[in-house]
Amino acid sequence: MPTAGAAEVHVINLLPPLFPLIGRGDDAAIATVRRDLLEPNRAVFDAVLRSSIDEVSNERIRSYLLALPPYAEKMRALADSFTKTFDEQRLAFVRTFPDLAYDRPVYLLPSFTTFDGATRVVAGQRTLMFGVDGCVMFHPSEFSLPVLFHHELFHIYHQQVLHGKEASFADWGLRIGLWAEGLATYASERMNPGTTDRVALLDSRLVELPKSDVAALARNFLAHIDLASEEDKWFRGGTTDAAIPQRAGYLLGLQVARRIGDRTSLPDLARRFGPDLKSEIDAALRALS
């Protein structure tokens, strides 16, 4: 059974095989990535990439290695300090959520520029992962590791406290992603006073949108809110629609969570579900529109 609270978490650093290969594009380097990094950790990287590592082309690996030299120094520095920083912030998280139960490893790895932080299912269990490449490449400035750590830890906690209630979300459509990502963003903001929207959203572009554009996004979202098939468009950078910025669902979710979460404790917010919450989400979106 998972242990609650401040129990130690094991960080597994998968970066050492990568660092000597940065900047190389030769066939031997590509073969080494497969032999020393991907194959020994197949289940992990299948989860990272959301597909089999067998589908990763040599050209993708080559391009990735050749793109890393400008970021290598910062990647190494982050990797060196990661375990200490993560443990400090995990303990800070537990002070707000003392019943957190997580007994899986935490992976520090190359995400092949797919994410900075994420939870993925490995061996049937939700697992924390942090892509040191994404942290450095996606956030050249105004980046906060505590905010990122608390965002991803909140996803773990949120799933934990709602376990067994999944059926109640069956007809939620896009509201599931909106509430999950919005509340995780809101929780990380509240746990780190003074956090700017730019840092909380982990995206500098979204905060520059004028209110009229945010209102238009809210109307667009409401028009498609029951279509779970459009989740990638709003939350995973899968949009080709010029009217929908990448990860726009995070921005709307944060605004909704702020409206609903005022004067409510974070542990209580994490436990909310059901038709009343569904109605409040819709009402908050209408207010934004």
Amino acid at site 105: P
What is the gyration radius of the CA atoms in the chain, in angstroms?
19
What's the chain's average pLDDT?
93
Per-residue pLDDT, 203 = 78
Per-residue pLDDT, 218 = 97
Three-state DSSP class for 153?
A: helix
* Residue 288 to residues 43, 258, 260, 269, 282, Cα–Cα distance (Å): 41, 12, 13, 20, 10
Q: What is the pLDDT of residues 95-126, one digit of tens each?
A: 999 999 999 999 999 999 999 999 999 999 99
pTM of the model: 0.93
- 239: pLDDT strictly greater than 90: no
Phi, psi for residue 68 in degrees, rounded to 5: -85, -25
Q: What is the mean pLDDT of residues 50-54?
A: 96
Per-residue pLDDT, 66 = 98
Q: Which residues contact 187 (CB under 8 A, 6 or more apart)?
A: 150, 151, 154, 266, 269, 270
**Where are the chain's structural domains?**
11-161, 166-288
Q: What is the pLDDT of residues 269-289, one digit of tens each?
A: 999 999 999 999 999 999 999
- 238: pLDDT strictly greater than 70: no
